A and B are shown apart, each in its own frame.
Chain A
């Protein structure tokens, strides 16, 4: 964009970019030798950037396939994902400016592209022209079985047992190890060094871009959209162009058989941000969606809790300083600050507020509820007081219904797609036969399923639980907290004088991975219920929320804790 030279041919300043990254004049189509300097962002130093040299590409193979590199595949995946995000309403800059540049930066840093290739390093595919004896006798070349056993995460594709033995018999010249040029090499690489790209990492890229642009999509939402199919992830390879043949080890890289886990995507994103040497991300201020005040409001609504609780969440946020810009904004590479999980944090704040006001010890909250019930019976003017019991019943009912639906959906999930996957050309026919049989059986039993049609993908929605505000019997947003509050010195405080800590001592997160260890039986049922509610909404394990709750509590009661560490865990506020 900042290229201001006049065109040599027509003297216009009207430049575009070819696929190869060179500038061409839009008026006269003169292609220059100048390649694009990435000037836009602050974070990439003004190094000369070169695209993947076209010279490496061989002419298309006879079966219509072409040579392609793994990173090209991932580039396609990212493209699809960000297009889907755009369709969801994310700003278009994300695709062309943000994610694109993140990706290029990654390629450069990991030396897959945009850099000079060192002389000794060649991308050598393991072809099967060599006889099996060669393969066996070369100790440096990893055996196929070894490569296949390298897995990023457990539960990946199990190998076709016959594949390994059949490989040595193949005499075709095309590589059966992978359809891509560098599939086998890719898996061999030491992942620690260069942050090897994986499918879950594509989501880390997306999340990173979303965070940079401060879009109102949390990580848990993003992952939920992925599971619901609004963002391509599973089987995204079926959108690869025909000529990009996928087989062998490519499957290990591109085919996922498990849903991404929050922690994994989250941690990878931070690793990535540090790897790319990114500067401080744009500020998360209190007008941002990701700010705890905002997220709390959303979650309060979704959890069908009174709006009045928002005052309390804001108070807690303020008191412990988690609403500060410096706390919330991501500073890549800074190991001392704890990484912020915006959604989990907000949920945890709500849990803490509930504990502050209702104690949640399986006694007090029901007692308060009884008082509110009495009051509501005798006095109907001025709006109803919030009754914990009623809320519990309403929410539990909906939650059970939704959870049951979700469980069934998980069981009915279809993982395969039309595009057949095979490790080698040899078992292609077997794979196709199997696929045909599967389709037949699906048809046969599908007909017997009755009128149950597989429902259309529901429209992506930010809210999973909805409460109609007209119905004050089952919607608690407008209910009042008056019954549980009292005024003291001009300040509204909770009537509940007690608080119990989830844990007296926090664990060392770096050592055991958690701040605390959540075991359902050790905590009151109400607490467990509340954790379960947010666990469902965020689609994460209750223990993560529990961790954040512990963290917040320790910040909140810091002074008191330092004094009385030995005795009872019930504190007077």
Chain B
């Protein structure tokens, strides 16, 4: 059609936007500002049919530019944000929140707090009800800042306590912050969502004031309520809490098991394995083996000596007792095709030996058991170890040689 390439306002502004986008991606702030200057007149047109209107575009783009541009000051930034707040009443609280984030990033806690308070007192007909969620967030973040203030007061109090002083005023203030923070934090975590930072702070408050039941309930809700999005951190917090509280092994183990299912590579898996190995129940020890093998499937654990020592201890124990060899066989079955190249290559043998002797020791033990005494890794490391006349490596060599038939049954 002949009108396809007709240049009009809309197309011109679309082109302008794509130039802005390119400039932003390449971090050319001056160029982005140049094109944004040309784009702003879009505000004078009605774009109610579009999904994202020019006022939102300008807010987002302008924020990026002003935040990064070398010649832009915080004052200018704030001035811009205030203008943006007047631009779209439907976005008012969102803009406030973003402004607050930037202030926090810039270390301006007090200004951030003021802005939050101001936002909290905002009312605008039916918009107030519509923007209810954002309002809750505003209150939650104010609660968070209250928590920070509480934390500060708490530290002062503790210091003073050490020196033998006790200042009632400080204590009162602290309690005041606690009340303010608790009220808001409690509200937000009722709504399904990812609220890690709020939950942590709230639990911290509860624990300090001795309300462990409430804390446990909050954490359970956060981790197990299906309405909330799946969040491994929720389980971690719960586990950490249970540990702190010295809860029964049983509850801790069940919490950790869920974490293992979600994030097999989590760092708590080492503790988990250690706990499980000690258990009297066979099922638990079996699980422990599964847990540690699963953790070592991940590249992040390759050089973790502690993890390897857990695995080494367990398989060694199994080999010595010659009981439950089938466990090891089962775990090894799905891994024998790729673990050798992944963990036990000759290159890794050399490198591990050079960088971390303990690591190479543990790994060599595992390799020797799983792959037999003729495997590259074991041969290299044990040879090096004996050459260096390190006792444990000599012991290692002896051990593997002695138990080789058993090992063969595993690798076979």
Q: Cβ of A438 and Cβ of B43 under 8 Å apart?
A: yes
Q: How far is the CB of A78 from chain B (nearest CB, A)?
A: 23
Q: Considering the chains assembled together, what is the distance between the CA atoms of A435 and B44 in angstroms?
A: 7
Please give the distance in Å from A374's CB to the nearest CB on chain B: 42
Find out whether the CB atom of A259 lies under 8 angstroms from the CB atom of B41.
Answer: no
Given contacts A441-B37, A448-B72, A449-B37, 19 further A-B contacts (CB under 8 A): A155-B6, A155-B9, A155-B10, A161-B46, A257-B8, A257-B10, A407-B15, A410-B12, A416-B41, A438-B44, A441-B40, A442-B40, A445-B36, A445-B37, A447-B71, A449-B31, A450-B30, A452-B34, A513-B2
Beta-carbon contact of B41 and A414 below 8 Å: yes
Q: Give the distance in Å from the alpha carbon of A302 to the alpha carbon of B19 in the complex.
A: 30
A134-152: contact bitstring with B at CB < 8 Å (1 yes, 0 no)?
0000000000000000000
Q: 17 interchain pairs (CB within 8 A)?
A: A158-B46, A257-B10, A258-B6, A258-B8, A263-B2, A264-B2, A413-B12, A415-B41, A431-B44, A437-B43, A440-B83, A441-B58, A441-B83, A446-B33, A448-B69, A449-B31, A513-B2
Q: Does A444 contact B (CB under 8 A)?
A: yes
Measured between beta carbons, the chain B residues less than 8 angstroms from A158 are 45-47, 49
A245 to B155, CA, bound (A): 69
Is the C-beta of A153 less than 8 angstroms from some C-beta in chain B? yes
* Contact between chains at A437 and B7 (CB < 8 Å): no
> Do the beta carbons of A153 and B3 come within 8 Å of each other?
yes
Return chain A residues, CB-CB under 8 Å to B12. 410-411, 413, 415
Q: Are A434 and B35 in contact (CB under 8 A)?
A: no
In chain B, residues 1-36, which have Cβ atoms closer than 8 Å to a Cβ of chain A?
A: 2-10, 12, 15-16, 18-19, 29-31, 33-36
Distance (whole angstroms) from the CB of B1 to the closest CB of chain A: 9
B-side binding surface: helix, strand, loop or mixed? helix
A261 contacts the other chain (CB 8 A): yes
Tell me the bound Cα distance from A431 to B31 in angstroms: 28
- Contact: A448 with B65, CB < 8 Å? yes
Judge whether B62 is part of the interface by a CB distance below 8 angstroms. yes
> How far in angstroms is the closest Cβ of chain A from B57?
12
Contact partners of A159 in chain B: CB under 8 A = 46
Q: Is there a chain B Cβ closer than 8 Å to A572's Cβ?
A: no
B residues within 8 A CB of A442? 37, 40-41
**How far apart are A449's CB and chain B's nearest CB, in angstroms?**
4
Contact with A along B44-66 (1 / 0, CB 8 A): 11111100000000100010011
Task: Give the 9 A-B residue pairs with the shortest CB-CB distance, closest first.
Answer: A258-B8, A448-B33, A449-B34, A411-B15, A257-B9, A450-B30, A411-B16, A412-B38, A441-B40
Contact B45 A410, beta carbon cutoff 8 Å: no
* Chain B 188-218 interface 0/1 with A at a Cβ cutoff of 8 Å (1 = within): 0000000000000000000000000000000
Contact check, B62 vs A441: say whether CB atoms are below 8 A apart: yes
> Which residues 32-53 of A have a CB within 8 angstroms of B?
none
Cα of A407 to Cα of B19 in the assembled complex, Å: 10
- Give A contacts to B, CB under 8 Å: 153-155, 157-161, 257-259, 261, 263-264, 407-408, 410-416, 431, 434-435, 437-438, 440-442, 444-450, 452, 513, 541
Residue B76, interface by CB 8 Å: yes
Task: Choose among B16, B62, B76, B86 the residue that contacts A412 (Cβ–Cβ < 8 A).
Answer: B16
**Chain A nearest CB: distance from B92 CB in Å?**
15
In the assembled complex, which residues on chain B have CB atoms less than 8 Å from the CB atom of A263? 2
Q: Complex Cα distance A412/B46, Å?
A: 19
> Taking CB as reference atom, which chain A residue is nearest B18?
A411
User: Does residue B406 face the partner (Cβ distance < 8 Å to A)?
Assistant: no
- CB neighbours (8 Å) of A160 from chain B are 46
Inter-chain contacts of B76 with A (CB < 8 A): 444
Which of B8, B16, B30, B46 makes the CB contact (< 8 A) with A448?
A: B30
Q: Given A261-B3, A411-B38, A431-B44, check contact A452 B8 (CB 8 Å).
A: no
Q: Are B43 and A448 in contact (CB under 8 A)?
A: no
> Does residue B87 face the partner (Cβ distance < 8 Å to A)?
yes
B80 at the interface (CB under 8 A from A): yes
Assess A261 versus B37: contact at CB under 8 Å? Given A155-B8, A411-B16: no
Contacts of B10 in A (CB 8 A): 155, 257
CB distance from A432 to the nearest CB of B (A): 11
In the docked arrangement, what's the CA distance between A438 and B62, Å?
Answer: 13
Scan B77-89; emit 1 where CB is below 8 A from any A CB, else 0.
Answer: 0011001001100
Q: Which residues of A contact B43 (CB under 8 A)?
A: 434, 437-438, 441
- Bound Cα distance A446, B35 (Å): 9
- Chain A residues lying within 8 Å of B65, measured Cβ to Cβ, are 445, 448
Alpha-carbon gap, A447 to B29, bound state (A) = 12
Residue pair A154, B3 in contact (C-beta under 8 Å) = yes
Distance in angstroms from B247 CB to nearest chain A CB is 57
- List chain A residues, Cβ under 8 A from B3: 153-154, 261
B35 contacts across to A, CB distance below 8 A: 411-412
Within the complex, the shortest CB–CB distance from A317 to chain B, in Å, comes to: 27
Closest chain-B Cβ to A308's Cβ sits at a distance in Å of: 34
Interface centre among A153, A414, A442, A445 (most CB of B within 10 A): A445
User: In the complex, A414→B9 CA distance in Å?
Assistant: 9
B30: chain A residues within 8 A (beta carbon): 448-450, 452
What's the minimum C-beta distance from B377 to chain A, rounded to whole angstroms? Answer: 58
Separation in Å of the B354 CB from the closest CB of chain A? 52
* Interchain nearest-CB distance for B8 vs A (Å): 3
Give the residue name and chain of the B residue nearest to A416 (CB).
Answer: B41
B2–A261 touching, CB < 8 Å: yes
Inter-subunit contact B87/A437 (CB<8 Å): yes
Closest to A451 in B: B30
Q: How far, in angstroms, from A434 to B10 measured CA to CA in the complex?
A: 18
